[in-house]
Structure 1
Amino acid sequence: MEKHGFEYRPVKENPIPEARTFPYVINDVTWAQKHGYGTDIERARTELRKTDPNQRYFRSLPAKRREAALEAANGPMPLNVTAKTPDGMLFQRSSEGCQSEADRKLYGDLQKWFQAKVTFDTLAEFKRMHVLADRRFTKAVKPWSACMRAAGHLYASPTELRAKLPPPNNPLPQKEEIRLAVTEAHCAMSSGLARTASELDEYHAKKLQKQYRSDVESRRQLQAAALPRARSITEADSPK
């Protein structure tokens, strides 16, 4: 980016270590006691986005310079590197630009890396969908729902509960949010839903990785080969 006349500062990939996702049901009572459904973390993320040095720098640029910065980062048209998700969705990117230059330098084969990454990233959502549709999961949800009902909360599933939560910009009062999340977590543990979800998550992860073994293995091999290159780059940039 500096070669193109722009600033860019590396930032932490995960600046909020306590941020977590619960794709099926909250299964950590201690976390729920502190964060509820994570609206405090979402507020922290919003503040970080406001103070992110790269976003602030980008917003400070005139319109034409912003366009030029985007092209420098992502490359110009045409989008000539393509990858398909397992369900046929097409992803495209330019073979030029700083992101592609960095990926090519690290992983060697840009096309191979892009396809492997797109497949691997998609598998996480595929896995979640498979778990939620699994009859063993839907069966395990019933005692969880009964547990929630006994505590005064009428939800047929964790998915329904999430759908009925107010938006992050107007959340439940903190004590109420935490109380509901803790109840969900207690019911997940006592009903066996947490255990079932964990077992099914592992089962479907292995099944999908076997089904898409080629791209999963390509990603692992490319990452392993990239490590020494990454070390040499960061060591060269580090102060003596």
Structure 2
Amino acid sequence: MRHAVRRTLLTAAAALVLAGCATVRPAPAPPAAAPPSRPEQDRILKAAEHRLVVDCLTAQGLALRPVSQARAPADDSRLQTALFGKDPRELSITLATGHTVTANSDGCVAAARANLYGDQTRWFRAQVTVDNLRAEAQARMKDDPAHRAALDRWTRCAAPSGGPRTGRPDPAVADRCTRESGLADVRARLEPVELATVRTLRRDQVATYEQLRARALLRAAELSAHATQKKGNDAS
């Protein structure tokens, strides 16, 4: 009987020990937050760039003003120079489409982008290239025989009867001719293919764009944390 009681007490004690161990088991980690969507990333980067531009202007005794607020010509000129720098423009890239894009390397906007992306020249070249990938793909489509034939049909459709087409047709006429000529279908078929080709051709710039963009998101988070900390210190 004593042995049976002892075994019962030991079993109960063991159960209590195990239960106690179970209570100190760490809680499962919360699921990781989903990364921000592309539009949300764009918003974060735009807000960070705006904050840096405002700080840059403040250091020069300037401020952004609503468009509706009148400014003296001299003040407006000073603000524009502070924002966008002085000519001549130092940054330049000529795209495959033949268009040349230029920008200043001085001014508050340029300084903000240099702060965010780390290398202003690399970011400028990568951003302009990526922003014009679709335009390059559309330019390549024009060499396709099916596209040229559809464009000829569109032109005949949009031109006045018996005469050459002058100026831009009415938007409603242009849309109707785009459908009836088959140009819309040809573009829908060719554009994804050409866009994939262009992204492959410009893969180095696309990779640079994504790399610098990721760097900028980290920098934006640092700036946001610093601003929050500074606000808390000021409040205390």
TM-score (norm 2): 0.57
Q: Aligned in 2, Cα 1:207/1:74: closer, same or farther, shift over 3 Å?
A: same
Equivalent position to 1:56, from 65, 68, 90: 68
Residue type matched to 1:63 in 2?
A: P
What is the Cα deviation at residue 220 of structure 1? 2.0
State the partner residue of 1:224: 214
State the partner residue of 2:183: 193
Question: How many residues are treated as equivalent by the alignment?
Answer: 174
Counterpart-to-counterpart distance in 2, 1:143 and 1:87: 24
Higher relative contact order structure (alpha carbons within 8 Å, sequence separation ≥ 6) = 1
Structure 2 portions without partners, runs of 5+: 1-56
What SS does structure 2 have at the residue aligned with 1:164? coil
Residue type matched to 2:150 in 1?
A: A
Answering whether residue 93 of structure 2 is matched by residue 94 of structure 1, we say no
Equivalent position to 2:192, from 179, 202, 216: 202
What is the Cα deviation at residue 73 of structure 1? 0.4
Quick one: percent identity of the two aligned structures? 24
Q: Aligned in 2, Cα 1:230/1:198: closer, same or farther, shift over 3 Å?
A: farther
Q: Aligned in 2, Cα 1:213/1:155: closer, same or farther, shift over 3 Å?
A: farther
Higher Rg: 2
What is the Cα deviation at residue 76 of structure 1? 3.2
Aligned-CA RMSD value: 3.7
What is the Cα deviation at residue 102 of structure 1? 1.1
State the partner residue of 2:148: 138
Q: Aligned in 2, Cα 1:231/1:8: closer, same or farther, shift over 3 Å?
A: farther
Counterpart-to-counterpart distance in 2, 1:131 and 1:155: 29
Answering whether residue 168 of structure 2 is matched by residue 164 of structure 1, we say yes
Residue type matched to 1:5 in 2?
A: G
State the partner residue of 2:83: 73
Residue type matched to 2:205 in 1?
A: D
Q: Aligned in 2, Cα 1:155/1:209: closer, same or farther, shift over 3 Å?
A: farther
CA deviation vs aligned residue, 1:30-87 (integer Å, no higher than 9, x gap): xxxxxxxxxxxxxxxxxxxxxxx2x334xx2222222211111012355333434336
What is the Cα deviation at residue 235 of structure 1? 6.1
TM-score (norm 1): 0.56
